[in-house]
Structures are given as C-alpha cells and as structure tokens.
Amino acid sequence: MAELLPTIKSPEDLTGFNAAQLDQLAVEIREVLCNLVATRTAHFASNLGVVELCIALHRTFDFTQDRLIWDTGHQVYPHKLVTGRYDQFNTMRTKGGLMGYPNPHESEYDLFMTGHAGASVSTVMGLASGDFLNGNSDRHSVAVIGDGAFPSGMVFEALNNAKVLNGNLLIILNDNKMSICPRVGGVADYFDRLRMNPFYTGFKNEVVKALNMVPVFGDPTERFLAQLKEGVKAGLHGGMLFEELGINYIGPIDGHNIQLLRKYLEMVKTQKGPTLLHVVTEKGHGYDPAAEDPVYYHTPPVLRKSEDCGEAPKTSGGSKAYTNYARDAIADVMRKNQSVTIMTAAMCQGTKMEPLRDEFGDRFFDTGICESHTVAFAAGQAKAGLRPIVNIYSTFLQRSFDQVFQEVALQDLPVVFTMDRAGITAADGPTHHGMYDIGYMRLFPNMIVMAPGDADELTEMVSFAVSVDHPTAIRYPKTNAENIARDRQPIELGKAEVLKRGSDGAVICYGTQLAEAKKAVELLAKDGIDVTLVNARFAKPIDSETILPILKESPFVVTVEEAALMTGFGSALLETANEAGIDASHVKRLGIADLFVQHGDRAEILAELQLDSLGIAQVCRELAAAHDEISSQH
C-alpha cells in the first residue's frame, strides 16, 4: 500500500480512510516516531501509546470546531503528524523547529501551549462554557489526560465543578499504568480496580460483539448507550466515584483498537453532560523495548537505528550532572541524619532519585504529580520535627507558589527546596525553563535563597541547608557539573566568595555560570582588563558587606544569572544598593529579559543571552570602553 501519512495535510484527509488504512496509518506514525528518536532525544513511549487514540479522535471529531486538549502535552506528536506538520516533523525540538508540546503558533489544532500536567480538564471546561455562552453549544470539548496527571489536585477541582457545566465535556482518561515512573497512590489503585471490572476483562468481549452490530450513527447508538450505561451502573459498579460526582463513566476500553475507539467516541458524542471515557493503553505500544521499559523510553537518549526501530545504549556516559551531585548530597545527609526525608512529585527518574527510593524506604516519598500537596505535606513533616527536602524542578514548583508562602515561609519551617532544572532546559522550551524561582523564593520573609557556583558547592549547600532552622532553597541547572579549582571558602549564611580582585570592573555571578564568568575574566585579563570576580552564593540574604564596597569601587559591574532578570539576583542587588543609597547606574544585569525563551540547544541559547564566557567578556569590554570614554572626556 502506498504511504498514507505524507498525504495527510489535515485531519479531514482521514475521512475517506477505511479501517485497514487507519491501521496502516498507525504503523506509519510509529515509524516516524522511531526515526525521530534515532536522531535526538524526544518523548517517545507516551507518544507510541496514544497513536490509535489520536487517529480515532481526529477521525470522529472535527477539531476545527470541536476542542481538543492533550494534558501535559508531551504525547502530542501523533496529533502533530495528522494536523499538517508531517513535513516539519524532523525539526522537532530543534531551534526554530516544531515544539515538543502543543503550540498555538504552529497550528489551530493546538489550543494552549502546555507542558505542565493537570490543567486540561479545567481549560476544556472553560472552552465548553465559553462555547455555550457564545451560542456554540454544538461544539464538543475533549480533554485527554493520563493516569499520571489525573491525581493532580486541579483535576479534582475541575471534576467538582463539572456537574454545573452546560456544555459538552468529554474527559478521556488515558490509563497506561504509568506516570514517568510507575504511577503511585490511591487514585492509581482505584484505576487498577476499574481495570478489574468485568466490563473490561471478560464482559468486554460481549460488549465488543454487541457494539459491532450497532451502526456508528443514528438513534440506535443512543439507545444502546443508555442500555450500556444502565448495565454498567446496575451490575458492574465501575467508576462510581465519577458517577457520584455527576460525571458519566464509561469503560475501560481497549485504546489500541481504532474501530472500537471510534464506536465509543461516536456514542459519547451524543451524550449530554460531562462524561469520562476510560481508555486503557500500553505506554510504548508497538515497540517492545519501550513497552517493556517505559521509564527508560519516556525520553530515551538517542537510539541507535536498527531495522525495527532503534536500540538505545543503556549507559548514560559523560560526566556527572548537577542532578547527580544533588542526589548524592541528599543521600549523604539522609545517612547522617535520620530526621531528613526526601520528596519527589513524580520525578524520581529525572532527579535520579531511584537509589534513594531503594535505600531509604519510608523516608522517601513520591507524591505523584501533586506539587502543591507535596509542599504542604513537607510543611507538616517539618512541624512534626522532621527535615524534609522537597526535590522538584524549578518550573513545576511554581504549582506550589502559595504553599511555599503560606505553609512554609509564613510558619518559618525548615523545609529544604532543591530546585533542579533551574535555568535553561533546552529542548523542552518555554514551558519548562526554570526561570522564575529566584523571584518566587526571595519574595518571602524567612526564606534563604542560594545557588552554588559549582558542583562541590552544591554538595556543601545541601548539607548547610539541612542544618538551618529556616526554609531554604537551592537552585541548579540541567547540565553537566563543573568544579572550579580554588581555595574554597566554606559556606556561611549570607556570605559571598571573592575569587579574584581587579580594579577595572566586577563580575558578580549567582549560580553555576560561574565557570563561564571565570573564563570571561581570564579572557578580559588577556585584553588588559582587570576584573573582580564574585561568587554571590546567596540571593537572600545578599552579602551587602562584601558586595556593596565592590559596587562603589568598580567602574562597572556585571551580574550574571541563568534566570529571569525581573525579580532575579541582579534585581536583588539593585534593591540592596538603592536601600543603602549607593549609585548602581553602572550595573548591567545579564540574564533572561521579559520574554519566553524558546526551545533549542542549551549552549546556543546561553550564547544568545550572553551568558557564556564570550558574551560576558563582550559585555564587560563594552562597559570598560564606555567608562574609558567618559573618563577621557573629564
């Protein structure tokens, strides 16, 4: 059969496809996904698992009118392939190319740019409500949400609200038994029990037979649906949790059978009020290694191309990342201090915490994708006398802004926040760069906010943080760690470290761009520009005793941080200078301006932001030249 996928310019092209062609399309989509991960790292197993669901959805609904939101958005690749982006697919996650998440700038079929889990049910409800009020109540609104994302508090807030909705709402629970790691918690157990439902295990076959006799369109469908639901309600009790919340529950059904999916989708289309369709899929479906090890294949390293798909080298290789240093430092303090606990919100794999899960058993907590709960839970533990470490990516911790304020900072509780992926996260893009944590942490009284200049300093900071009787936050990026050879000064609360003194200007670095700042200072020395280099270490309390005299004496000052300038370290410095009545008009802040940084290569993005050695040196040269010019005029 001729290839189908290249011919699809929009989902409308699926209209004429018969069952065999739709099945062939699924095969072709998987091939394209395989080819992609043979060239770069990308989300893989989740995408393999939703191929049939995606085809069935686009074959059943018209999403130029109807609404579709893929929760989180990491499983959106098949959707991109059938919505006119096949030709650009090889640009996926590269600079200027397709984003690895839904992106309204790319397509009318992507309604929200998303990357954080749990919002889909709320946003789809808003769309349905808006459509109803605008007189477009014939539009259908569909949220596809994974079993990992489902326990997010926001989903339950939306379910609580769903009953009052006038519009058409379909929630598709994509249950593949996995988050990134195996899903955990009571909701996961509930889904497991639903899978035991005879509707899915045995009676399902009868249902399938019956369904095959039902035409896809017309009244018989409605009649059948009514009978089916009564059957489920009366005899099988599946999904009573949802039913009691006023949400029709249907399923579970096989999510890899396009025809079956289509029949159910056609049926639920006629359903009034909120409906939850429970679809069972296999994460990694269609490529055995991914189905067998969906954790590794969630975002695998580049696969070696082989005939059936690809084969990944299981060694990670390369030097140690900051993530590993943090993990080892946490393990160390946990061994020494029995009151230290560790928490992850479903990111055990990305934060490399699996060994801690194995070693520390009951002091290790995976709360699921529930960051708000995690922080409040940690606050409770701290109040009970424990020393919780909350290890969450900078971007995801934003989900807990108010818990950081109310439950932690306001109570002045000794919770340690280790914020991984603080800074540019590269291929994931604007949804995932950790840009705002300096601001959202230093805002609150009692909070101690720090960033290590290198790997060993991260280790020291973790140990320092658990010894402090206040909330503390440590940020570090997603990159290989460096160490800067020097006579290390021990970590002391609110003390910066001066690495070098110079008379022509000063570079004050907050965080791990310190190695680049040091290189810049060395480059400048070659040009005869003698610059002070400071490792700030603390954004709060800021070391005014060390830094303000440098500000006064230096012809120019450059602050360096891998974070949003607004509310960041440089801004903290300006505030401190202002309060001390010191002129800071000669301070130039390097960091991220008031914009969303797009996806791309980390080194390339940092270079564009002038956060690498060449950029920092260049800015210093310009400031030195401007200062010389002004001096020569006087």
Ligand X SMILES: Cc1ncc(C[n+]2csc(CCOP(=O)(O)OP(=O)(O)O)c2C)c(N)n1
Considering the candidates 371, 457, 516, 561, report the single residue annotated as catalytic.
371
Q: How far apart are CA 118 and CA 150, in angstroms?
A: 6
Q: Is 399 an interacting residue with respect to ligand X (CB under 6 A)?
A: yes
Q: How far apart are CA 219 and CA 267, in angstroms?
A: 10
Q: How far apart are CA 138 and CA 133, in angstroms?
A: 11
Contact 424, 516 (CB under 8 A): no
DSSP 534-584: EE--EEES--HHHHHHHHHH-S-EEEEEEEESTTSHHHHHHHHHHHTT---
Q: Is 287 annotated as a binding residue?
A: yes
Which one of Mg ion, ligand DXP, ligand X, none interacts with residue 123, CB within 5 to 8 A by kind? none
* 332-351 positions binding ligand X, by CB under 6 A: 345-347
Q: How many CB atoms lie within 10 A of CB 380?
A: 12
Beta strand 505-510 with 472-475 is unpaired
Structure tokens, 496: 């910066």
- E strand residue ranges, 270-344: 274-280, 304-305, 310-311, 340-344
* 236-295 positions binding ligand DXP, by CB under 6 A: none
Q: Is 71 an interacting residue with respect to Mg ion (CB under 5 A)?
A: no
**Closest separation between CB of residue 297 and ligand DXP, Å?**
12
Q: How far apart are CA 494 and CA 537, in angstroms?
A: 8
Q: Is 148 an interacting residue with respect to ligand X (CB under 6 A)?
A: yes
Q: Which is nearer to ligand X, 51 or 228 (CB)?
A: 51
Q: Is 366 an interacting residue with respect to ligand X (CB under 6 A)?
A: no
Q: How far apart are CA 84 and CA 92, in angstroms?
A: 14
Q: Is 115 annotated as a binding residue?
A: yes
Give the binding range for Mg ion (CB under 5 A) out of 170-178, 191-199, 307-315, 372-380.
170-178
Active site residue 399: yes
Q: Is 181 an interacting residue with respect to Mg ion (CB under 5 A)?
A: no
Secondary structure element (H or E) that encloses residue 589, with its range:
strand 587-592
Q: Is 136 annotated as a binding residue?
A: no
Q: Is 116 annotated as a binding residue?
A: yes
Q: Is 176 annotated as a binding residue?
A: yes
Binding track, positions 135-154, relative to Mg ion; x by CB under 5 A: -----------xxx------
Q: Which is nearer to ligand DXP, 115 or 286 (CB)?
A: 115
Q: Indicate the DSSP class of residue 391.
A: E
Q: Which of 72, 122, 123, 394 binds ligand DXP (CB under 6 A)?
A: 72
Q: Is 117 annotated as a binding residue?
A: yes
Length of the chain in residues, anyone?
A: 634
Active site residue 371: yes
Give the residue from 55, 484, 399, 459 showing the smallest Cα distance to 260.
55
Considering the candidates 30, 59, 269, 283, report the single residue annotated as catalytic.
283
Q: Which is nearer to ligand X, 371 or 516 (CB)?
A: 371
**Closest separation between CB of residue 107 and ligand DXP, Å?**
19
Give the residue from 332, 331, 366 showing the smallest Cα distance to 349.
366
Compute the C-alpha angle 120/126/130, nearest 5°: 145
- Give the end-to-end CA distance of the chain in Å, rounded to a whole number: 81
Q: Is 118 an interacting residue with respect to ligand DXP (CB under 6 A)?
A: no
Helices (H) and strands (E) in the chain, counts: 25, 19
Task: Indicate the residue type of 214.
Answer: V
Q: Is 149 an interacting residue with respect to ligand X (CB under 6 A)?
A: yes
Phi, psi of 443 (to 5 degrees): -60, -30
The residues pairing with 391 across neighbouring beta strands, listed in sequence order, are: 418
Which one of ligand X, Mg ion, ligand DXP, none interacts with residue 373, CB within 5 to 8 A by kind? none
Q: Is 147 an interacting residue with respect to ligand X (CB under 6 A)?
A: yes
Q: Indicate the DSSP class of residue 142.
A: E
Q: Is 274 an interacting residue with respect to Mg ion (CB under 5 A)?
A: no
Give the residue from 298, 300, 365 showing the smallest Cα distance to 376.
365
Give the binding range for Mg ion (CB under 5 A) out of 109-117, 174-182, 189-197, 502-510.
174-182
Task: Indicate the residue type of 290.
Answer: A
Q: Is 149 annotated as a binding residue?
A: yes
* 20-49 positions binding Mg ion, by CB under 5 A: none
Q: Which is nearer to ligand X, 75 or 554 (CB)?
A: 75
Q: Which is nearer to ligand DXP, 248 or 299 (CB)?
A: 299
Which one of ligand X, Mg ion, ligand DXP, none interacts with residue 428, CB within 5 to 8 A by kind? ligand DXP
Which one of ligand X, Mg ion, ligand DXP, none interacts with residue 535, CB within 5 to 8 A by kind? none
The residues pairing with 388 across neighbouring beta strands, listed in sequence order, are: 341
DSSP 166-223: -SEEEEEEEE-SBSSSBP-SHHHHHHHHHHTSHHHHTHHHHHHHHHHTS-SSSHHHHH
Q: Is 428 an interacting residue with respect to ligand DXP (CB under 6 A)?
A: yes
Size of interface with ligand X, in residues (CB under 6 A) = 25
Structure tokens, 405: 């304020």
Active site residue 486: no
Which one of ligand DXP, ligand X, Mg ion, none interacts with residue 299, CB within 5 to 8 A by kind? ligand DXP
Q: How far apart are CA 447 and CA 412, in angstroms?
A: 8
Give the residue from 574, 498, 564, 480 showing the smallest Cα distance to 536.
498
Q: Which of 74, 269, 352, 399 binds ligand DXP (CB under 6 A)?
A: 74
**Closest separation between CB of residue 611 and ligand DXP, Å?**
19
**Closest separation between CB of residue 249 and Mg ion, Å?**
18
Q: Which is nearer to ligand DXP, 349 or 489 (CB)?
A: 349
Q: Is 115 an interacting residue with respect to ligand DXP (CB under 6 A)?
A: yes
**Closest separation between CB of residue 73 and ligand X, Å?**
8
**3-class secondary structure, 481:** coil
Tell me which residues touch ligand X (CB under 6 A): 46, 49, 72, 74-75, 115-118, 146-149, 176, 178-180, 283, 345-347, 369, 371, 396, 399
Known binding-site residue numbers for Mg(2+) = 147, 176
Known binding-site residue numbers for thiamine diphosphate = 74, 115-117, 148-149, 176, 287, 371
Known binding-site residue numbers = 74, 115-117, 147-149, 176, 287, 371
Q: Which residues are catalytic?
A: 283, 371, 399
Tell me which residues touch ligand DXP (CB under 6 A): 72, 74, 115, 180, 299, 350, 421, 425, 428, 478
Tell me which residues touch Mg ion (CB under 5 A): 146-148, 176, 178
